[in-house]
Amino acid sequence: MSENIIKITGVKKYFGGVKALDGVDLVIKKGEVHCLAGENGCGKSTIINVISGFYTPDAGTIEIDGKEYSKLTTQMAIDAGVQVIYQDLSVFPNLTVRENLALNMEVASGKKFVSKKRFQEIALEAISKINFKADLDEMVENLTVADKQLIAISRALLNNAKLIIMDEPTTAITQKEVKNLFRVIRDLQKQGIAILFVSHKLDEVFEIAEHFTIFRSGKNVFSGRTEELDEQKFTYYMTGREIQEEAFRYEKRPDAKTVLEVRDLSLANGFADCSFSLKEGEILGITGLLGSGRTELAETIFGYHKADSGEILIHGKKVEIGSVKDGIANGIGYVPPERNVQGLFMEQSIADNISITRWKDHADRLGFVNEKSIEDSVAHWVKELSIKINDPQDNMKTLSGGNAQKCVLAKWLSLDLKVLILNGPTVGVDIGAKYDIYKLTKKLAENGLAVIIISDDIREVLSNCNRVLVMRQGRLAEERMTSELDEASLSALSVE
C-alpha cells in the first residue's frame, strides 16, 4: 500500500496554445496537510480539476492511493476518496441543512422515494464526523459562510474521503472561524485524511501546512517542508520578484486640512453614535469582527444607506449624503468587498468598467461617446496601475482578482476624489497584486488623498494605516495609533 494518497508526475495540460500546466509534480502523503500556493493563473485550479477527474491531462501520470489512472473521471476520483470543496461550497441555499447533507448520498443510492428517517440518519452521521453542532431544519441560506463550509466538509466525509481539497477556504470567514476550521482540519488529519489547502495567505498557510508546493506560470518552483521557507522566500517563489513591505509612515503636517468629519452618525440595525475625523494624507484603518458595523458605516458615508441621525462634513461643510450619487458628488469613492457584485459590471468590457464614472466626460453635447477619449483614458490607467490585460474590449471576467481590483481603483481614481474608502481591498487578490495595491494606496496618501481601509486582516491594517478605529457591536470602541500596536494587541481589542 502506498504512503501517498496523490502522486502527480510530469502532468501537462494545454488550452489551445496556452500551457496551463507544464510538466508539474505533486505528492501528498496520507494524513498530511499540504499547501498549494501560487498567484492567479499559475495552474492551481487546473491541477485541482485534473485530480478530481474534471480535466484529462495531455501528458503525465496520476496515482491515487497507489493506483495509476490512465483516464480519470470525476466518479472514479470520488470513489477513490477525492473530495473538492470549492469557494462557492456547492451547497443548496433553498434547502435545509438536513437535505444538503443527505441529498447526494440519496441520489447516488438510486432510491426512488425520499425517506425522512433516512435523511435524518445520514445528516446526523455526517455532522458527528467533525462534531458540528447544527440545526438540521435551518435553511442553509440563513447560515454563515463558515457553517456552510462545515456542511460541505461533513458531506464530503460521508463519501469516505481520503483527500479533501479546500480551495481558498478562508477568503470569506472571520479569524475566529478560521481557528475553528483549523481545529476541524487537525481532527481530520488525526483520522488519516489528507488535506490539500489552496491559499495565498501567508500567516494561515504557515500555521496549518506541513508541506508546500508552489506553482508559477504552470510550473513547479518549490516543493518541500514548511520549515524550509520563510516569508521572503515564499513571496519570491510565488511572484518571481523580491518584495519589501514597508509600514506606512504618515508625515503629519501642521497645515494638513481635515477632509472628513463624522459626528454621532447612526443607522438602525447597523451602528450608533460614531464620530471620527480624517485629515489629508492619512490612511485610517477601521477593523472589527464580522457584524461589528464596519461595512454599514462605510456604506453610509458613501451613500448606500441614508443615516438615521448624525452629520457628515467634507472640508468643514455639512453635506447631505442620502444616495451613492450624493457620495460621488462630494468626492467620495468606495471600493466594496464584493467587487464582482458591487464594484464591476462583469459582463461588460474592461474599458467600460474603467470609464463608467466619467462617462459624460467621454461624450459630446449630443451624447455620442468619443471612443478615442475612452481609449486614451483606459490606456493611461492600465499603465499607471500596471493592470495586466490583453485587450481593453475583453470581458471583465477574463481578469484575475488582482487586476480586476485595480480596475475598480482606476474607476474611482479617474475622479477628483477627496476620500477613498477601501473595504477589504485585497480580498481574493494574490500576493503580488496585494503589494501593488498597498504601494499604490500609500502613494495616494502621500499625494494628499484621505484614505480609509476597512479590514479584519490585522496585518493589513497595521502595515498600511497610521491610525486605527476598532468597532464592536455597532460602536467605535477604540482609537489607537498603529505604531502603538502589534498583531496580538489589535486582535485582542477587536474581541474585548
Same domain, 13 and 54: yes
Q: How confident is the model at residue 309 (pLDDT cuts 50, 70, 90)?
A: very high
What single letter denotes the amino acid at residue 318?
K
pTM of the model: 0.76
In a domain, 53, yes or no: yes
Instruction: Answer whether 314's CB lies under 8 Å from 365's CB.
Output: no
In a domain, 344, yes or no: yes
Output the CA torsion sign for 484, 489, 491, 496. Answer: negative
Cα distances (angstroms) measured from residue 462 to each of 275, 276, 342: 21, 19, 26
Mean pLDDT lowest among 204-218, 301-315, 318-332, 335-349: 335-349
In a domain, 106, yes or no: yes
Selection from 400, 388, 460 nearest residue 424 by Cα: 460
Q: How confident is the model at residue 496 (pLDDT cuts 50, 70, 90)?
A: low
For 258, the enclosing helix (H) or strand (E) is: strand 258-267
pLDDT surpasses 90 at 174: no
For 221, the enclosing helix (H) or strand (E) is: strand 219-225
Mean pLDDT lowest among 108-117, 227-236, 474-483: 108-117
CATH at 291: 3.40.50.300
- In DSSP terms, which residues pair with 29 in a beta bridge? 4
Mark which of 204, 239, 274 sits at the end of a domain: 239
Same domain, 27 and 163: yes
Mean pLDDT lowest among 99-108, 109-118, 309-318, 439-448: 109-118
Report the chain's mean pLDDT, rounded to a whole number.
Answer: 89
Same domain, 280 and 208: no
Percent of the chain with pLDDT over 70: 96
**In this predicted model, what pLDDT tens digit does every residue of 250-269 receive, in sequence order?**
887 778 899 999 999 999 99
Same domain, 169 and 291: no
Mean pLDDT of 457-473: 93
**In this predicted model, what pLDDT tens digit does every residue of 190-208 receive, in sequence order?**
999 999 998 877 778 889 9
- Helical axes 97-109 vs 116-128, angle rounded to 10°: 110
* Structural domain containing residue 394: 258-495
Instruction: Answer whether 70's CB lies under 8 Å from 245's CB.
Output: no
Same domain, 204 and 306: no
Which pLDDT does position 330 carry in this prediction? 96
pLDDT surpasses 80 at 1: no
In a domain, 427, yes or no: yes
For 133, the enclosing helix (H) or strand (E) is: none
In a domain, 455, yes or no: yes
Which pLDDT does position 272 carry in this prediction? 96
Cα distances (angstroms) measured from residue 252 to each of 69, 71, 123, 223, 285: 64, 64, 59, 46, 16
Instruction: Answer whether 58's CB lies under 8 Å from 122's CB.
Output: no
Same domain, 287 and 386: yes
3-state secondary structure 260-275: EEEEEEEECCCEEEEE
Same domain, 222 and 311: no
- Collapse the DSSP code of 446 into the 3-class scheme (helix H, G, I; strand E, B; otherwise coil) and give the result: helix
Selection from 212, 177, 187 nearest residue 197 by Cα: 212
Same domain, 97 and 199: yes
Size of the chain, expressed as the number of residues it contains: 496
Instruction: Answer whether 322's CB lies under 8 Å from 303's CB.
Output: yes
In a domain, 62, yes or no: yes
- Collapse the DSSP code of 351 into the 3-class scheme (helix H, G, I; strand E, B; otherwise coil) and give the result: helix
Same domain, 234 and 275: no
For 26, the enclosing helix (H) or strand (E) is: strand 18-29
pLDDT surpasses 90 at 328: yes
Name residue, grid cell 500500500. 1
Selection from 79, 39, 42 nearest residue 163 by Cα: 79
Same domain, 321 and 234: no
pLDDT surpasses 90 at 418: yes
Selection from 408, 386, 406, 388 nearest residue 398 by Cα: 388
Mark which of 239, 267, 302 sits at the end of a domain: 239
The backbone torsions φ and ψ at residue 26, rounded to the nearest 5 degrees and listed phi first, read -155, 120
The distance from CA 266 to its chain's CA centroid, rounded to whole angstroms, is 29
Sheet strand arrangement including 309-314:
271-279, 258-267, 309-314, 317-319
pLDDT surpasses 80 at 406: yes
Instruction: Answer whether 333's CB lies under 8 Å from 417's CB.
Output: yes
Mean pLDDT of 336-347: 84
In a domain, 246, yes or no: no
- Counted domains in the chain: 2
Q: Strand 4-15 and strand 18-29: pairing?
A: antiparallel
Output the CA torsion sign for 368, 371, 377, 378. Answer: positive
- In DSSP terms, which residues pair with 216 in a beta bridge? 219
Name the grid cell of 335.
Answer: 471600493
The distance from CA 77 to its chain's CA centroid, rounded to whole angstroms, is 28
CA–CA distance, 286 with 370 (Å, rounded to integer): 40
Percent of the chain with pLDDT over 90: 49
In a domain, 399, yes or no: yes
Same domain, 96 and 218: yes
CB proximity list for 276: less than 8 A, separation 6 or greater? 261, 262, 284, 469, 476, 479
Name residue, grid cell 496520507. 30
CA–CA distance, 351 with 370 (Å, rounded to integer): 13
Name the grid cell of 178.
Answer: 478560521
**In this predicted model, what pLDDT tens digit does every residue of 43-79 receive, in sequence order?**
998 999 999 999 999 999 999 999 999 899 999 999 9
CA–CA distance, 345 with 152 (Å, rounded to integer): 30
Using a 10 angstrom Cβ sphere, with 0-12 exposed, 13-18 middle and 19 or more buried, the burial of residue 165 is: buried
Q: How confident is the model at residue 8 (pLDDT cuts 50, 70, 90)?
A: very high
pLDDT surpasses 70 at 356: yes
CA geometry: angle at 7 spanning 204 and 430, to 5°? 30
Q: What is the CA radius of gyration of the chain?
A: 25
Same domain, 84 and 175: yes
